[in-house]
Structure 1
Amino acid sequence: MTIDYDSASGPVIKPISLAHVFLRTNKFDAMVAWYKTFLNADARYESSRIAFLSFDEEHHRIAICAIPGTGDKVKTSAGLEHIAFGFSSLQDLALAYRQRKSLGLIPTWCVNHGITTSIYYNDPDGNQLETQVDSFDNNDEATAFMESEAFKNNPVGTEFDPEELVRRLQSGESIESIKKRDEDAPRARTKP
């Protein structure tokens, strides 16, 4: 197959994946240790200034670098709001929450967005990380919910107590029932 690079027009080719996130920091040691713990990640390469971490088959998912002149994060500046990590089940999300809690990693915000059940954390630099599980079995169902009046009326969701999530799972309540957003519950406040 011959590609005519000089006549490239039309929509841009879509990437096949989101490969990694690169974080600059002035708290290198704390950040590397935190991400290794938070993601149960391994360093594929690590020096005194840069680390490439992965929690799966990819050569690296998170790169962290101590770049000279880096100041503290300004929470109100424009830029990346959060990085989200998906889990395969609500049980895995709840277990990871409990495991992190036992290591002193406490969530900052827990919200049922309707399309996901999500638990948020802050890293040592103040970057926000979302851990989530999808509420629907496929993207068509999720998109339909996002097009619904319920989502239009409350696109953020409703907050929940992660300990209550664990109790509901332990009680044997159905996963479908737990994932369903309670539209009568108080709306979530904006993210901290």
Structure 2
Amino acid sequence: MDRIGSDIKDPSFQRTCELSNVICPSKLSHVVLRTTKAQLRSMIDYYQTFLGATVAFENEIAAFLAYDKEHHRVGILALADPAAPTATGTSRGLEHVAFNFSTLDDLATSYEQRKLAGITPDSCVNHGPTTSMYYSDPDGNRIEVDVDNFDTSEEAVAYMKSQSFLENPFGSDFDPDEFVRRVRSGEDHRAIKKRPDVGPKTIGV
């Protein structure tokens, strides 16, 4: 449910971290993925399509992609051992990378655009704090795209401390096409963002 590249504007975040007097960063700059030389082209093409990104730099072993004013947000390096396994849901390492949209309309549009390009989500979940869709790139890395369900971080944190979230910290699945229909119908977005109560839930349930 985290997001990549959001500048932290809230003055309360512009502070010295509590531990070790380390200064907090102002943003998460970029993510770099490792792939094989044989898979590099597929990975570049995938992220160009998935993010609507442009290639800032590319050679035979590396590519750097941007989708906003930052010089790059995603790096892809062809340094992996060809014999190494692709990412799976049970392998060690990064669980997923998340990209945030400002509105449900944008999330719905991005879903439709990716679907036309042959890219569909593996799962869609209303976590409570976010409405999220999960995808897998050609190497099996998981990508989340989401929208915040609350107007402030304080409201989201309060929800995460609720009994409902304690019993089910994972959320409620939803159908992406039904989600788009609801968004386009003019239904109140607050109602769409409200997580249905599906009772206690753990991983794998």
Distance in 2 between the 1:188 and 1:57 partners? 39
CA gap 1:25/1:107 in 2 versus in 1, 3 angstroms: same
Distance in 2 between the 1:36 and 1:165 partners? 25
Report the Cα offset of residue 12 of structure 1. Answer: 1.3
**TM (normalized to structure 1)?**
0.90
CA contact (8 A) 2:53 2:65 kept: yes
CA gap 1:42/1:154 in 2 versus in 1, 3 angstroms: same
CA contact (8 A) 1:158 1:186 kept: no
- Offset from partner CA, 1:107-140 (integer Å, 9 cap, x none): 0010000000000000000000000000000000
What is residue 29 of structure 2 aligned with on the other side? 19
Percent identity of equivalent pairs: 49
* SS of residue in 2 equivalent to 1:130: strand
CA contact (8 A) 2:46 2:138 kept: yes
What is residue 174 of structure 2 aligned with on the other side? 160
CA contact (8 A) 2:87 2:141 kept: no
Structure 1 or 2, whichever has the larger Rg, is 1
What does residue range 1-192 of structure 1 map to in structure 2 within 5 Å?
10-26=20-36, 27-67=39-79, 69-70=81-82, 71-75=84-88, 76-184=90-198, 190=204
**TM (normalized to structure 2)?**
0.84
- Offset from partner CA, 1:92-116 (integer Å, 9 cap, x none): 0011001000100010010000000
Report the Cα offset of residue 74 of structure 1. Answer: 4.3
Deviates more, 1:64-73 or 1:175-184: 64-73
* SS of residue in 2 equivalent to 1:80: coil
The count of corresponding residues between Structure 1 and Structure 2 is 183
Report the Cα offset of residue 170 of structure 1. Answer: 2.0
CA gap 1:134/1:183 in 2 versus in 1, 3 angstroms: same
Distance in 1 between the 2:101 and 2:132 partners? 10
Distance in 1 between the 2:167 and 2:189 partners? 24
Alignment RMSD (CA, Å): 1.8
CA contact (8 A) 2:65 2:75 kept: yes
